[in-house]
Amino acid sequence: MLVPMRIALIVNGKATQVTDARVAGVEAALGRAGTVGTVETSGPRDATTLARKACDTADAIVVFSGDGGYNEALNGLERDIPIGFVPGGGTSVLPRALGLPRDPIAAATQIAEAVEENRVRRISLGSVNGYRFAFEAGIGLDAEVVRRVDRLGRDEKGRRPGDYAFVRSVVAVIRERRHNLDQVLEIRDLGRAAFVVVCNGDPSTFAGPVPLRFAPAARFELGLDLTAPVRLRRRSILRLGMTVLTGHLPRATDALYGHNLDRIEVVCDYPQPLHADGEDLGDVTSAVFECQRSAVSVLV
């Protein structure tokens, strides 16, 4: 007699798209592939603890959350266990970049089929100062934007602001700097830059339905890519904006670019904000980004 697959479903009930009805729908969709044990997060970093515990008892882990929950769960994996990501956040970059449907029930149905067929995609992960990230991390401007959005707080249901809050924060930072961002950090073997974005896949993020591609050559199966604007002025801001929207590589005069890298070392002139997958990791004066190649099996 075959033993049914044990699927641990980790749910962040405060994620933008998570409702009781959708949780029930995701449970039903996954139930076709095995027995589902649902646990809900109760605070920051809780998904890390829950994923660590699930590694002891489950055959697969599925996370119904936003990108912060996916990030926490990946940092809790202590063995090679298949993991799936159901879009529950306002943006949910990771499952969308992996090609999963935006509808949670449709995504859960596809993940259930992947469990039944033992269909996984082996992908790399990045890490910064030992902390894992799935799709993007950065020092400087984009991390400052993440911090500003966090300071906006959450709504009455505990949910974070949406994509357009990020856009407004980017505009605000650039205006405050009078459209100028000077060189404040050094990337070993590459040079000086105003800020740095390190990507594990493409696209790096989304503004609503629009993909933003800071590192268009990045692939989940490869090493890390980086884009580091040398400095930002009015004209270079416009050019960089167009490259992000169109998916072209930036001009060498506008930004440093690195592809398929295993290690990136950054030293800052003074403390700069750092983020990983949209999670604020505080200020740093230096950071080491490393690629963990073929680190995880993703149910797709």
Q: Are residues 45 and 163 in the same domain?
A: no
More confident call, 200 vs 150: 200
pLDDT band at 299 (very low <50, low <70, confident <90, very high): very high
Looking at 118, 142, 159, the residue that finishes a domain is 118
CA angle (87 as vertex; 78, 146 as ends), nearest 5: 80
**193 within some domain:** yes
- Report helix, strand or coil for 33: coil
**pLDDT tens digits for range 248-288:** 888 878 899 999 999 999 999 999 999 999 999 999 999 99
* Strands (DSSP E) found in 27-130: 35-40, 60-65, 83-87, 120-128
**pLDDT tens digits for range 206-254:** 877 888 899 999 999 999 999 999 977 766 677 777 788 788 888 878 8
Query: Helix crossing, 141-151 with 163-176: angle to 10°?
Result: 120
> 76 pLDDT exceeds 90?
yes
Q: Are residues 277 and 145 in the same domain?
A: yes
Q: So what's the pLDDT on residue 1?
A: 38
Looking at 118, 139, 166, the residue that finishes a domain is 118
Q: Are residues 201 and 241 in the same domain?
A: yes
**pLDDT tens digits for range 169-194:** 666 776 776 555 789 999 999 999 99
Of the candidates 156, 131, 161, the residue with the CA atom closest to the CA atom of residue 146: 161
What's the chain's average pLDDT? 90
Cβ atoms of residues 84 and 114 within 8 Å: yes
Q: Are residues 113 and 241 in the same domain?
A: no
Q: Are residues 114 and 136 in the same domain?
A: no
Q: Are residues 157 and 245 in the same domain?
A: yes
Q: Are residues 27 and 166 in the same domain?
A: no
Q: Are residues 285 and 177 in the same domain?
A: yes
- Looking at residues 147-153, what average pLDDT do you find? 80
> 105 pLDDT exceeds 70?
yes
Looking at 92, 118, 144, the residue that finishes a domain is 118
Domain count, the chain: 2
Q: Are residues 282 and 144 in the same domain?
A: yes
Q: Are residues 166 and 64 in the same domain?
A: no
More confident call, 171 vs 18: 18
**126 within some domain:** no
**Tell me, what CATH number does 64's domain have?**
3.40.50.10330
- Domain that includes residue 224, residue range: 131-295
